[in-house]
Structure 1
Amino acid sequence: MLLWFLLLLSSWPLLTLTIAVQCPPASTQLVRDASGISQKELSYFTARKQNADRKLHEWLRKVTTRPVFPDSASKPPPWGDFELEWTTLPSVALASSGGGYRALLAGAGVVKGLDSTEKQDKGHGGLGGLYQALTYHAGLSGGAWLVASMASNDWPNITTLKDGLWKSRFPQGVFVPGTNLAQEMQHDALIREDVQQKENAGYDTTMTDPWGRLLSYQLFEGGITQSNNTLSNLAGKSKFKDHAVPYPIMTAILASSEHPCDISPSNTQIEMHPFEWGSWDEGVHAFTDPAYLGTVLKYGKPVNLAPLGKPECMAGFDDLGYIMGTSSNIFTFACSHNMSLSEISPLGAVVLEEMMPGSRAPNVHDLFASYINPFRMRYASKEVTHEAELLLTDGGLSDHNCPIWPFIQPARAKTVDVLIVNDNSADVNHFPNGTAIYNTFLRARKVGLTRMPTIPPPEKFVTKGFNARGVFFGCDEPDTLTIIYLPNAEFSHPSNQDTLKVQYSAEEIDGMIENGVKTARQGTIMPKGWDVCVACAIMKKSNARLSDICLECFNKYCFRYGEHKMFSR
Structure 2
Amino acid sequence: MHWQIAFVTAVVLDTAFAWSPSNSYAPANVSCANDISLVREASGLSNNETEWLKKRDAYTKDALRSFLDRATQNFTNSSLVESLWNSDKVPKLGVGCSGGGYRAMLSGAGMLSAMDNRTVGANKHGLGGLLQSATYLAGLSGGNWLVGSLAWNNWTSVQDVIDSRGQSDELWDISNSILNPGGINILSSASQWDHISDAVEAKQDAGFNTSLTDVWGRALSYNFFPTLYRGGEAYTWSTLRDSDVFKNAEMPFPISVADGRYPGTEIVDLNSTLFEFNPFEMGSWDPSLNAFSDVMYLGTNVSNGTPVTQGKCVAGFDNAGFIMGTSSTLFNQFLLQLNTTSLSSFIKGIVGDFLKDLSGDYDDIAIYNPNPFKDIPYVASNYSQSIVESENLFLVDGGEDGENIPLVPMLQQDRDLDVIFALDNSADTNEYWPAGLSLISTYERQFGPQGRGLAFPYVPDFDTFVNSGLNSRPTFFGCDASNLTDLSHTPPLIVYMPNNRQSYNSNTSTFKMSYSSSQRMSMFQNGFEAVTRNNLTDDSGFAGCVACAIMRRKQESLNATLPQECTKCFQDYCWNGKLSNADSNVTSQGAYTGSISFQTDSATSAGSSSTSASSKKKNAAPSMAESYNSGWIIAFSTLLGTILGLL
The TM-score normalised by the length of structure 1 is: 0.87
Query: Are residues 1:498 and 2:509 paired?
Result: yes
Displacement after TM superposition at 1:237 (Å):
1.6
Instruction: Verify: 1:559 aligned to 2:575, yes or no.
Output: yes
Higher RCO (CA 8 Å, separation ≥ 6 residues): 1
2:543 to 504, 524, 531: 531
Per the alignment, do residues 333 and 213 of structure 1 end up closer, same or farther by CA in structure 2, a change over 3 Å counting?
A: closer
Residue among 390, 393, 416 paired with 1:390: 393
2:467 paired residue number = 463
Question: TM-score, normalising length from structure 2?
Answer: 0.77
Give the equivalent residue in structure 2 for 1:95: 96
Within the alignment, does 1:425 sit opposite 2:472 as a pair?
no
What are the equivalent positions in structure 2 for 1:78-227 lying under 5 Å apart?
79=80, 81=82, 83-123=84-124, 126-164=126-164, 166=170, 169-178=173-182, 180-223=185-228, 224-226=230-232
Retained in 1: the 8 A contact 2:475–2:573?
Answer: yes
Q: Does 1:516 align with 2:513?
A: no
Structure 1: how far apart are the matches of 2:197 and 2:495? 45
Which SS does the other structure have where 2:546 is aligned? helix
- In structure 2, the residue corresponding to 1:396 is in which secondary structure? coil
Q: In the superposition, relative to structure 1, how do residues 78 and 328 fare at CA in structure 2: closer, same or farther (>3 Å)?
A: farther
Further displaced range: 262-271 or 182-191: 182-191
Contact 2:99–2:142 (Cα < 8 Å) also in 1: yes
**Could you say if the C-alpha distance between residues 354 and 185 of structure 1 is closer, same or farther in structure 2, counting changes exceeding 3 Å?**
closer
CA contact (8 A) 2:460 2:613 kept: no
- Is the CA contact (8 Å cut-off) linking 1:353 and 1:362 kept in structure 2? no
SS in 2 for 1:137: strand
Structure 2 regions of 5+ residues with no counterpart?
1-23, 340-344, 380-384, 483-489, 578-593, 595-609, 617-647
User: 2 CA distance for matches of 1:376 and 1:82?
Assistant: 50
SS in 2 for 1:138: strand
- Between stretches 460-469 and 249-258, larger displacement belongs to 460-469
Within 2, Cα distance between the matches of 1:448 and 1:78?
38
Residues 564 and 541 of structure 1: CA distance in aligned 2, closer, same or farther (over 3 Å): closer
Give the AA of the match of 1:480: P
Deviates more, 1:473-482 or 1:90-99: 473-482
Amino acid at match of 1:23: C
**Number of aligned pairs?**
529
CA offsets, 1:207-263, max 9 Å, x none?
A: 11111011100111335243542111111122111111000000010112111x222
State whether residues 475 and 560 of structure 1, in contact with CA within 8 Å, keep that contact through their aligned partners in structure 2.
no
Shift of the 54–536 alpha-carbon distance from structure 1 to 2, 3 Å rule, reads same
What is the alpha-carbon distance in structure 2 between the residues aligned to residue 453 and residue 153 of structure 1?
35
Is the 1:32–1:288 Cα contact (8 Å) retained in structure 2? yes
Shift of 1:315: 0.6
Percent of pairs identical after alignment?
Answer: 34
Is the partner of 2:476 in helix, strand or coil? strand
Residue pair 1:213, 1:322 contacting (<8 A) in 2 also: yes
Bigger Cα displacement from structure 2, 394-403 vs 503-512: 394-403
- Does residue 18 (structure 1) correspond to residue 27 (structure 2)? The answer is yes
Deviations 1:261-284 (A, max 9, x none): 222222111101110101111111
In 2, Cα distance between the equivalents of 1:352 and 1:264? 32
Report the alpha carbon displacement of residue 391 of structure 1 after superposing the two structures with TM: 1.1
Residues 332 and 214 of structure 1: CA distance in aligned 2, closer, same or farther (over 3 Å): closer
Q: Distance in 2 between matches of 1:85 and 1:60?
A: 15
Distance 1:554 1:566, change over 3 A: closer
Q: For residue 507 of structure 1, what is the amino acid of its counterpart?
A: S
Q: 1:444 and 1:159, CA in 2 relative to 1: closer, same or farther beyond 3 A? A: same
SS in 2 for 1:432: coil
Q: Aligned to 2:94, what secondary structure does the other structure show?
A: strand
CA distance in 2, matches of 1:318, 1:549: 48
1:553 counterpart SS class: helix
CA distance in 2, matches of 1:227, 1:361: 20
1:437 maps to 2:443: no
Q: CA RMSD in A?
A: 2.8
SS in 2 for 1:20: strand
The code of the aligned residue for 1:234 comes to L
- SS of 1:495 mapped into structure 2: coil
Partners of 2:355 and 2:43 in 1: how far apart? Answer: 39
Structure 2 counterparts to residues 339-488 of structure 1, below 5 A: 354-355=353-354, 362-372=359-369, 373-381=371-379, 382-412=385-415, 414=416, 416-428=417-429, 429-446=431-448, 447-477=451-481, 479-488=490-499
Q: What's the CA shift for 1:406?
A: 0.4
Shift of 1:476: 1.2
Q: Post-superposition shift, 1:110?
A: 0.7
For 1:411 and 1:333, the matched residues in 2 are separated by: 37
Question: C-alpha displacement at 1:62, in angstroms?
Answer: 1.1
Displacement, 1:85? 4.4
C-alpha spacing 1:515/1:331, structure 2 compared with 1 (3 Å): closer
Contact 2:444 2:615 in 1 (8 A): no
1:60 partner letter: L
**Are residues 1:291 and 2:296 paired?**
yes
**Partners in 2 of 1:193 and 1:453 — Cα distance?**
48
Shift of 1:471: 0.7
Equivalent of 1:248 in 248, 254, 272: 254
Q: Deviations over 1:503-522 (max 9, x none)?
A: 00011000000000011202
